[in-house]
Amino acid sequence: MKRRALLGTLAASPALAQPRWPERPVRLVIPFVPGGSNDVIARALAEKLQAAFGQPFVAENRAGAGGQIGAQYVAGQPADGHTLLVASLSVVSTATAQPGAPDPAVVFDAVARLATASLAIAAAPQLPVTDIAGLVRLGRSRPLRYGSAGPGTVNHFSGVLFGQVTGVEMEHVPYRGLGPATLDLLAGRIDLIIGSPPALGAPLKAGQLRLLATTGPVRAPHFPQAPTVREAGFPFEVEFWWGILAPRGTPAPVRAALEAAIRAALADAAFGRFFEAEGAQAAFLPGAEYQRLLTSESARWRQVAASAGLTVN
C-alpha cells in the first residue's frame, strides 16, 4: 500500500506514465569518501527508499575536490530521477570558493532535507581558555591555529566566519579529513577545530579535548552543557545539514514521490535514533523550503568567501 501511494502521483502524470519511475536502480551519489557522515546516512536511507519503491537504491562514492567531483557529476546526469546527490552544507561551501564551480542552488532541484547538526568548537587541552570569551581574548593577542577537513569545507569556512565576527586572526591548517586534524589537536599542534559531533564526540566525552561552545541556533542535544556561540555574546551561527538533491529539471512528480518517501522514513523513530547516533537530529524540510535554504546558504558562504578573498583549487 505504501509503495502504491508513493507512486500514485507518478501515474497521474502523462509525461511519466511510460515508463514509470523508477524503472531501474537509482544511484545515490556520495561526494565524499566511504565512512563519513554522508556515506553512513546515504546507505541507511537507501534501504528505506528501496523498500518504498521496490527498486534498488545504490550508494556510490565519487569523492574529491571537497565534494565537487561528485556534485558536478550528478548535476550533469539526465534529470530523470535515477541519479541523486546526497549533499551536505560542505558541498555548498566548497562550490562558493572554487573557480568555475556551478552554484548548487542553480544546477540542482532540492528534494528534501534529512537532518541537521550543530558543530562543536573544541580546544586543545593545553590551550589556556575555558570558554568562547577566553578564546576571543587569546585570539586578539595572537593568531589561533585551527584545523579543518580540507580547503573549502564547512570547518574551514566556519573558522573564517568566526574570525570575521569576533575580530580574531584565524590561521587555517588544512588536513585530509578531521581524523588527522583531531590527532594534531590532541597533541597541541593546533589550537582548535570547529567540527562535527561524530568526529569530535569521543575525545570530548573522554575529556581529552575542551568543549567551548556549539554553533547551532539552540544548544545541541548531544552537548547540552555547552552554550551556543550566540549565548556567549557573538553573532555567529552555523547549522550543518544533509539532504537529497536532483539534477535541475527532474520532473516534479518524481521529486514529490521521493519527498513523501523521505518524510515517511524520517518519521520512523528507529531511523531517528540512527541520526542521533551520528550526532545529528532528523529535521525534514520539503523540497520548496529546502530549495530556499540552499539558495540562502549559497549566498551566505559566497559572501564569506568573497570578503576573505578565498579561492580553493
What is the distance between the alpha carbons of residues 313 and 311, in angstroms, rounded to a whole number?
7
Q: Look up the pTM and report it.
A: 0.88
Length of the chain: 313
- Residue 95 identity (one-letter amino acid): A
pLDDT (0 to 100) of residue 160:
96
pLDDT band at 152 (very low <50, low <70, confident <90, very high): confident
Query: In which residue ranges of the chain is CATH 3.40.190.10 found?
Result: 120-214
What superfamily in CATH does domain 2-117+240-308 come from?
Answer: Bordetella uptake gene, domain 1 (3.40.190.150)
In this predicted model, what pLDDT tens digit does every residue of 60-111 receive, in sequence order?
999 888 889 999 999 999 999 999 999 999 999 999 988 889 999 999 999 9
pLDDT (0 to 100) of residue 186:
94
Residue in 101, 11, 80 with CA at minimum distance from that of residue 255? 80
- Residue 195 identity (one-letter amino acid): G
What is the distance between the alpha carbons of residues 196 and 37, in angstroms, rounded to a whole number?
9
- CATH level 3 topology of 120-214: D-Maltodextrin-Binding Protein; domain 2 (3.40.190)
Residue where the block lists cell 559566497: 302
Query: In which residue ranges of the chain is CATH 3.40.190.150 found?
Result: 2-117+240-308
Q: Is the dihedral of CA 239, 279, 175, 141 positive or negative?
A: positive
| 193 DSSP β-pair partners | 122, 147
18 touches 280 (CB < 8 A): no
DSSP string, 212-231: EEE-SSS--TT-TTSPBTTT
Q: Give the number of C-alpha atoms closer than 13 A to the C-alpha of residue 244, restricted to the C-beta side.
A: 33
Residue in 97, 149, 93, 155 with CA at minimum distance from that of residue 121? 155
pLDDT (0 to 100) of residue 223:
87
pLDDT (0 to 100) of residue 99:
86
What is the distance between the alpha carbons of residues 234 and 251, in angstroms, rounded to a whole number?
43
What is the distance between the alpha carbons of residues 66 and 151, in angstroms, rounded to a whole number?
7
Taking residues 37-65, what's their average pLDDT?
Answer: 93
What is the distance between the alpha carbons of residues 140 and 122, in angstroms, rounded to a whole number?
18
pLDDT (0 to 100) of residue 179:
86
Strands of the sheet with 170-174, listed across from one edge:
170-174, 144-148, 192-195, 120-123, 210-214
Q: What region, left, alpha or beta, does residue 243 occupy, with left being phi > 0 and alpha being psi -120 to 50 degrees?
A: beta
- Residue 283 clears pLDDT 60, i.e. is over it: yes
| Assigned C-alpha cell, 263 | 518524510
- Residue 9 clears pLDDT 50, i.e. is over it: no
